Homo-oligomer: A and B are copies of this chain.
Amino acid sequence: MKTYVYSFGGGTADGDGTMKAVLGGKGSGLAEMSKAGVPVPPGFTISTEVCNIFFQNGNKVTPEIDQQMFAALAKLEGQIGKKLGDAENPLLVSVRSGAKFSMPGMMNTILNLGLNDKTVEGLAKRSGNPRFAYDSYRRFIQMFGEVALNIDMEKFDHIFDTRKHKAKTKLDTDLTAADLKAIIDDYKKLVQKETKKPFPQDAREQLTMSRDAVFRSWWNPKAAYYRKMEKIPDDIGTAASVQAMVFGNTGDTSATGVGFTRDPATGEKLFYGEFLVNAQGEDVVAGIRTPQAISELEKIMPAAYAQLREITASLEKHYRDMQDFEFTIEEGKLYMLQTRNGKRTGQAAVRVAVEMKEEGLISKEEAVLRVAPQQLDQLLHPVFDEPSLKKLVNIATGIDASPGAAVGRAAFTAEDAVEMSSSGPVILVRKETTPDDIHGMDVAKGILTAVGGKSSHAAVVARGMGRPCIVGAGAIAIDERGKKFTVTVNKKTVVVKEGDWISMDGTTAKVYLGKAVTRDPDPTSSYFGKLMTWSDEFRGSFGVRANADIPRDAKVARLFGAEGIGLCRTEHMFFAEDRIPFMQAMILARDVKSRTKALQKLLPMQRKDFIGLFQAMDGLPVVIRTLDPPLHEFLPKREDLMVDLARLPHAGKPMKKEMSEKYRIKPGDLKKQLPELLKRVEELHEFNPMLGHRGCRLGITYPEITEMQARAIFEAAAHVAKKGIKVIPEVMIPLAGSVREVEHQKEIIVRVAKEVLAKAGQEKLHYLVGTMIEIPRAVLVADEIAKEAEFFSFGTNDLTQTTMGLSRDDYTKFSGEYETVKVFKADPFASIDQEGVGKMIKMGIELGRKTRPDLEIGICGEHGGDPASVEFCYRVGMNYVSCSPYRIPIARLAAAQAAISGDKTESMRTA
């Protein structure tokens, strides 16, 4: 005889934890716990196969299945000592769905099954709580009515609300037993009216009807849609678990509670939780009564407490992880209602993983796998003290651009931020940031912008600095001149002026009015250190480098474990206040001679920067990218110039002064020079700057720029090498799309290197010349490009934009709809789009290594700090990832996890 129904409870079970396909997730979990000797309320699970039989058999089960189910019910009644439908001591059960894969909330559940006009009286008597009994009954009628009888829920609600109105009560809990009885009567009348039959009083009929309703819910529209989205097959069906209900509110020998086997906030190994005597589970959560600390239970019910300690300890051992459990004590008897791996803070995750390994409970591999890389963020940035936050109003939500909590006074310009920072913490609030704002961002505790996405200037720079940052908070309307912003909260306008305190969390992207308390992280804890050391053991030759442009960032990166610099954006050096005039002079130059003259002024500055970087990274490689952004980024904005030019004829002295400072033109010269400046800006204006005159395209039209940069790099390298510091420069050519471009730029770099190194007597200094792979054409001809390029670095920001034809800054305008329609699996600018961009990357690696088997390949886009992307990079055989300094620990951990669970791709890297 085939088994369709599997019993569990009383220290035994027909199934076990491996039988998810047959019993569903819930059913197999209950079987596993029972088998492990955990006292769970007993019951039985009707297998997923029955669900399929049900549909094939015209929406009903076979007599054989009914027979097995009632046999299991009889067994359950024996175990629990109550009978379904018994008027004195009724057994109540729940009927729950549960498929192989979790489909949270998509299918139906029925509770309190077994109540009828008679058993409700027995329950009232036995519980000594008639209100509870009638409330349970009216809930059952409502649930059963909706799920099994297809009666519109609103009709029940209408009856309920009418009664509440009559009773003049505000809260459901204020309704008396008499009120509830009246509601029950009306409910039953509704059922009669809608189904032309009375509400079924036979508990066994209730059971079969409920079971069938649960099976039918497999085809709920939302469930079918969810399966389609999650690619869950339609033909695997759901199981139905029938379980005895237990009650913690039958008197003073009953109780209910929740707890953790370790402290979920810190990870410390202590028994943690709370409970209420004579209460139901929801009372603990609802906060109507204040629960007691779990240690008190020992005094009140020592036996149950001892059993709970023992059971939870064994559960932790069984599941080999910190457990989050719920329990009920019914008349002195302990039942475990649920246990699951407990959610925890990042700090706790690290400590639990490390201590469990040291306790011998888990292996070192498991310890490394236990911490979600993203969680490390919490250890590296300040976090809010939750209670202090609860008092504040959330006034806006943007996009989480750089994690961590920050509190400070609002400043609306970089200059103001600098000034205000001397007297206390500052949050810089801007519509969007530009390179001109760097000094303000540097002194700010946090950065908030109204526009832009995760890869906007503000986001990229903030992450590099480790500053909390929220971008694209479109709800706030910034008035820069008025030094304030307004935002509508609950239909009221809130004005935040310069100097007002605000709090912001770059992790949740929420902005609060007022001053919360922050807690500083402790990234130097021994737990963290151990986890990192173990991670590095697994990572093998797969490297983690940092994106860092200045020596200070390089030093931070090294502290966090960077094994080199994967991207130094040389243009960031040009944006500095003391350099931009020379940069602008270079751009405004009309011929090679005057351009070269301006470049000569920049040369010593660049050289100094590189010296600092090389010193900081002694012995480690430093990838330096030649000039990348379009030149107009270094000039004033076209619209500003146009507007100011229109204003100029009517401008008074103050406005002229403002313009003069802004454009570095004497007030008297504005009339003549402003149109000239606009003309040059117009010439450089681009329709799609992302696809314009930038990257190596600049180096090809202005070879003298590449030449100056190469000179600065190699003069710095020679200078540092002479001091006995080991320098490994890797010069990177951006935005190449053909081998010819790489060849052209490499020719200049190699020529300058030869000349400079020979002059310095450093001919043996080893360096590489490589290229970024960031446009699809570079991938398509990667075999050709690898003939010249000695390394590849995937610039996945731009590669994502070009491959998807999607501007990261403009995507924010419709990303909401795209997420709703589920066009992409995840935000492609946060995590590599593996189906699309990922294919490109794989192709590029294959073609590149075909030409040059030992080609060094890395990634330097923002994705380098995203765990799923790091795993991908490991799997496709890259040599390293490079990311912001503050994400290096995350990348190290993610790489280790990839190494432990992934394919063994080590051979690809050492080919």
Contacts and interface: CB of A to CB of B under 8 A. Distances in A.
Interface of A: 638-639, 642-647, 649-650, 686-693, 697, 700-701, 735, 737-738, 740-741, 744, 774-777, 780-781, 798, 801-807, 809-811, 813-814, 817-818, 821-824, 833, 835-837, 839-840
Given A643-B643, A687-B689, A810-B686, A802 B823 contact: no
Nearest to A828: B777
Contacts of A744: 821, 823
Main secondary structure of the interface of A (DSSP, over half): helix
Contact of A810 (B649, B692, B700): B692
A333 to B, nearest CB: 52
Contact of A805 (B687, B774, B810, B811): B774
A744 B228 CA distance: 13
Contacts of A638: 639
The 9 closest A-B pairs by CB, nearest first: A775-B805, A691-B807, A692-B810, A777-B836, A688-B807, A646-B646, A776-B776, A688-B688, A688-B690
B821 A803 contact: no
A821 B700 contact: yes
A804 B775 CA distance: 6
Given A647-B646, A737-B806, A806-B737, A691 B776 contact: no
A823 B741 CA distance: 6
11 contacts: A639-B639, A643-B643, A687-B690, A687-B810, A688-B690, A737-B806, A740-B822, A740-B823, A775-B805, A776-B836, A777-B804
A528 to B, nearest CB: 39
A409 to B, nearest CB: 28
Given A643-B643, A700-B823, A737-B823, 14 more contacts: A643-B645, A643-B646, A649-B650, A687-B689, A687-B810, A689-B810, A697-B814, A700-B814, A775-B804, A776-B776, A776-B802, A776-B836, A777-B805, A781-B835
A805 B691 contact: yes
A298 B647 CA distance: 80
Given A639-B642, A805-B737, A836-B777, A691 B693 contact: no
B807 A686 contact: yes
A738 B688 contact: no
Contacts of A817: 700-701
B813 A693 contact: yes
B687 A809 contact: yes
A184 to B, nearest CB: 42
B643 A821 contact: no
Given A642-B643, A740-B822, A781-B835, A776 B801 contact: no
A835 B690 CA distance: 23
Nearest to A837: B777
Given A740-B821, A821-B700, A836-B737, A688 B809 contact: yes
B646 A701 contact: no
A499 to B, nearest CB: 28
Contacts of A774: 805
Contacts of A833: 777
A693 B700 CA distance: 32
Nearest to A630: B810
A89 B650 CA distance: 89
Contacts of A818: 697, 700
Nearest to A806: B691
A805 B740 contact: no
Task: Name which of A691, A738, A741, A824 has the most chain B CB atoms within 10 A of its CB.
Answer: A691
A541 B693 CA distance: 42
Nearest to A684: B813
A697 B823 CA distance: 10
Contacts of A647: 646
A810 B639 contact: no
B805 A780 contact: no
Contacts of A814: 693, 697, 700-701
Contact of A807 (B650, B687, B700): B687
Contacts of A806: 691, 737, 775
B776 A807 contact: no
Nearest to A802: B805
A823 B776 CA distance: 16
A645 B643 CA distance: 8
Contacts of A646: 643-644, 646-647
Contacts of A701: 814, 817
Contact of A780 (B700, B824, B835): B835
Task: Name which of A700, A777, A807, A835 has the most chain B CB atoms within 10 A of its CB.
Answer: A777
Nearest to A647: B646
Contacts of A802: 691, 776, 802-803, 805
A798 B802 CA distance: 10
A689 to B, nearest CB: 7
Task: Name which of A802, A807, A810 has the most chain B CB atoms within 10 A of its CB.
Answer: A810
Contacts of A835: 780-781
A646 B807 CA distance: 30
Contacts of A837: 777
A661 to B, nearest CB: 19
Contacts of A836: 737-738, 776-777, 780-781
A628 to B, nearest CB: 12
A737 B692 contact: no
